[in-house]
A and B are shown apart, each in its own frame.
Chain A
Amino acid sequence: MAEQDTTRASQRVYTLNLGPQHPSTHGVLRVLLDLDGEYIVKADPVIGYGHRGHEKMGENRQYRQFLPNTSRMDYLSGMLFNHGFVLAVEKLAGIQVPERAKYIRVIASELNRISSHLLWFGTYLLDLGGFTPFLYAFDDREQILDILDSVSGSRLTYSYCRFGGVSRDIDSKFIDMTRAFLKRMEKRWADYDGLVTKNIIFIRRTRDVGVIDAELARRYGVTGPNLRACGVAFDVRRSEPYEVYDRFEFEVPTGSRGDALDRYSVRFMEMRQSCRIIAQALDHLPQGDFMAGKVPQKLAPPRGEVYSAFESARGLSAYYLVSDGGPGPYRCHIRVPSFGNLNVLNDVLPGTLVADAISILGSIDVVIPEIDR
């Protein structure tokens, strides 16, 4: 009887190709799904459609020339990756950064984190069929983009953080815009809560969907909000404080069940904590230089290696630079969180419905170009 069942089952299983052109795979992702009716039996993500060879480019460029590349990997957290690279090189070359620059970089990074989460929120709801929150989220995100544009000249991919500080000082216009934004968001959280978080359809689509337990997360190296939703309070800003994060009071929100709803709630709370950090940074912003004094145009750091980790919007990211004393790195490896976050789907998707696959994929918040590099 069991043999008959398996034969019937294997004849029933068919392969469906999700992507690479699909409205809901975030970036160019292809997932080969083996389906039995509407249930997923096997899931195999296929990536590499956006591989541009950033790591090889890193080896062939001077440190300064690689700076624009850093934003283009995870383009939603462009400022965060830019910031992380600059931190890594400063560590390697022993460059001291003035206090004001550190605060400015933290403000810009946290603004970028909020804008990344807002975009994730909008597109996640879009995947679930709610078309309207997407535009509300983008309206808010537009404010952030305007703020960052006013000081760096770019809206999405930044080269604002430079070795030794930032490229331009912030002025009172920037501070006013940021404060206005923080005030505006205070009202917005309540709007989003009422429209989305408390909506019964949304809750039914996300509660107990795509549960990742902490052990599975550990085996795959999942980090960031996905890990925190499983109950593990691991945030690089707390465990390896860099820049001036140890001077700010903020919480690291966690969930308890590791389902899509928890991942959603963790990101929402993170946005609010980021607002808190920005407010504190603005309050305590010191006067001073925005750039270190004598930073050579062509850096030639001493031989050795540096591994500098930071918390990007998706989790623990790191730059691993090996220097041979030359003007550019000998090896430039970037550890990206979406790598593990997407990988975990190999074990999470089987057993779920196809309709849930989209919800789970959206709740993981992967950016494929980051994986492809």
Chain B
Amino acid sequence: MKVKDIEGVMRSKFPDAPLHMDESGLTGALWSMAVPISGIRDAAGAFDAAGFFLESITALDFEDTFELVYHFNCYEPMSRVVVRVLCGHGQVPPSICDIYRGAVWLEREVHDFFGIEFSGNPDMRPLLLPEDADYHPLRKTFGKVGAYHKREVIYG
């Protein structure tokens, strides 16, 4: 099973990174791993080599940090995997668009909504917002906001 193989690969690449198995099925993934910001390209390369596709890139805005959430999946049953990257406000994560072509647009969207710059992405024009937009709507400091927490409030 590809997802078992990639677990082994990721454990060996990032021996210190916490890996949570998800028994409940709530996260829709078998396991999720928190990867350091410098390691996301390695991780993406490993997934690409294993034949996974990039399902989605999104971000979460917390008081103390951003968190980038990468969902990888492959064409076998029940094979979704989550890679999480903590990225401080103002930090610039590397882009994975040369590994996954689809990441160009996904990263553009994250940049639109959160203002996270991705170094190495050749096209950082706004995707969904107008060309001259200088605001980042999904930040919790923009517009009407229900709640703004630190990360530990949700994930403990």
Contacts and interface: CB of A to CB of B under 8 A. Distances in A.
Interface of A: 47-48, 51, 53, 55-56, 59-60, 91-92, 218-221, 232-234, 238-240, 303-309, 316, 318, 320, 322-324, 326, 328, 330-331, 333, 335, 339-340, 343-344, 346-347, 371-373
Given A307-B71, A320-B58, A239 B76 contact: yes
A326 B55 contact: no
A53 B137 contact: yes
A213 B136 CA distance: 36
B31 interface: no
17 contacts: A48-B127, A56-B138, A220-B100, A220-B101, A239-B75, A239-B76, A240-B77, A240-B78, A303-B154, A304-B26, A306-B26, A307-B27, A326-B147, A331-B60, A333-B56, A343-B105, A344-B102
Contacts of B82: 307
Nearest to B139: A56
Given A305-B26, A309-B80, A221 B54 contact: yes
Contacts of B76: 239
A318 B130 CA distance: 26
A305 to B, nearest CB: 6
Nearest 7 pairs of A and B residues by beta carbon:
A307-B28, A220-B102, A48-B128, A239-B77, A335-B56, A234-B75, A221-B102
B143 interface: yes
B100 A306 contact: no
Given A55-B113, A221-B102, A340-B102, A335 B71 contact: yes
B11 interface: no
A328 B75 contact: no
**Interface size, B (range):** 35 or more
Interface string B58-92: 10110000000101010111111010000000000
Contacts of A240: 28, 77-78, 80
B1 interface: no
**A interface, by DSSP: helix, strand, loop or mixed?**
mixed
Contacts of B28: 240, 306-309, 318
Contacts of A306: 26-28
B29 interface: yes
Contacts of B126: 48
Given A307-B80, A323-B154, 19 more contacts: A53-B137, A56-B143, A60-B144, A218-B51, A220-B102, A221-B100, A221-B102, A233-B75, A234-B75, A239-B76, A240-B78, A303-B156, A305-B26, A306-B26, A309-B80, A318-B55, A330-B154, A333-B58, A340-B102
B79 A239 contact: yes
Contact of A47 (B60, B78, B127): B127
A56 B135 CA distance: 13
Contacts of A324: 147, 149, 153-154
